Amino acid sequence: MADMIVGRRLCKRFGDHIVLDDVSLSIDRGERVAVIGMNGAGKTTLFRCLLGVTRFTGQLTVGGADVRKTPRAARAKIGYVPQRAPQFDGTLGETIDFFTELRGADPTRVTDYLKVVGLDNEAERDKPVRALSGGMLQKVLLGLALGAGVDVLLLDEPTANLDPRARREFLRALREVPTDTTVILSSHRLADVEAVAQRVLVLHGGGFAFDGQLNELTGRISDRVTVWLRIPREDRDRAQERLQTLDRVELVIGSNGVLGVSASRGVGADVVHQLRAEGLTIEDFWIEGPTLEEHLERLLEPGGAT
């Protein structure tokens, strides 16, 4: 695969604060990449460099176009979906027509992609933009980007302000992105990263603390999960006593009738089996892995997995 994005010795500072410090990267055509990091690590700054809307030093190309020398040519290859869709006066149809003309996109292709991501342009186009849900607006931005035939799709926290249903619908719409389109996602949600990305870049201290597969990142840091169990009140004390005696687990006290244990992956089923063997009733149970923030904290702490 040919390189779609190439950066060499990228530097960006705000006064005395260095955000990007001699950063280099290479991303292939069609690659799915997540850029993650703690707040202030420089994720949005990197995106702004790619879009050519902030000054930087070093070399950066998008599809062969030099971002510093020919920023418009580089931007023409990029579709951008921000955390929050901009609010416009007027109708959805007027907004779609405006951006279609601005990008010089084929209106038929845009309409086709809007349908692909779950939006009926004809049925919805008379609705005021300000009356639309956040999930619908994000899908509109995605459809417009894909309809413009871009080579690179930048997604900057695209589901941060969406409810669970809208998040699922947006992630489902991302499955329609052509395989030769490079996708770069910034997100604080582990589920979003798992749904979209094959490769993960962790920004920290002005550079990349990690560059590899997501399972490599999570596997290096921790293989522990939390198993939560909903147990009737009459069995709760006995269940807690039994959990404290089990090997390879650590008791976690929950609330509202929920008990939990921290355990290695694969041990959760054994916990449920042993409690049931004791005659204890388990009304429900579920397993939670570490959050993305917890992974990053462990990775970036002194002596961490880097």
Segments of the chain assigned to CATH 3.40.50.300: 3-220
- The segment(s) of the chain belonging to CATH 3.30.70.920 are 223-289
pLDDT at site 117: 84
Rounded to an integer, what distance in angstroms lies between the CA atom of residue 110 and that of residue 95? 12
Residue 151 has pLDDT above 90, yes or no: yes
Mean pLDDT of the chain: 86
Q: Is the dihedral of CA 36, 71, 30, 154 positive or negative?
A: positive
Banded model confidence at residue 183, pLDDT cuts 50, 70, 90: very high
Interatomic CA distance for residues 14 and 30, integer angstroms: 32
Which tens digit of pLDDT belongs to each residue from 106-134?
A: 999 998 888 888 887 778 889 998 888 88
Residue 227 binned pLDDT confidence (cut-offs 50, 70, 90): confident
Phi, psi (degrees; rounded to nearest 5) at 155: -120, 105
Region 279-301: mean pLDDT is: 76
Place 306 in a pLDDT band, splitting at 50, 70 and 90: very low
Q: How distant is the alpha carbon of residue 222 from its chain centre?
A: 20
pLDDT tens string 45-58: 999 999 999 999 99
Q: CATH for 3-220, among 3.40.1440.60, 3.40.50.300, 3.40.190.10, 3.40.50.150?
A: 3.40.50.300
> Residue 115 in 3-state DSSP?
helix
Banded pLDDT at 259 (limits 50, 70, 90): confident
The domain defined by 223-289 folds into Alpha-Beta Plaits (3.30.70)
pTM over 0.75: yes
| pLDDT attached to residue 222 | 59
CA-closest candidate to residue 201, choices 191, 192, 212: 212
Question: Where would I find the H helices in the chain?
Answer: 43-51, 71-75, 92-103, 107-116, 121-124, 134-147, 164-174, 190-196, 214-221, 233-245, 268-277, 292-300
- How many whole angstroms separate alpha carbon 130 and alpha carbon 114? 18
Q: Which amino acid is at 150?
A: V
pLDDT > 80? residue 265:
no
Across the strands, what pairs with 201?
35, 211
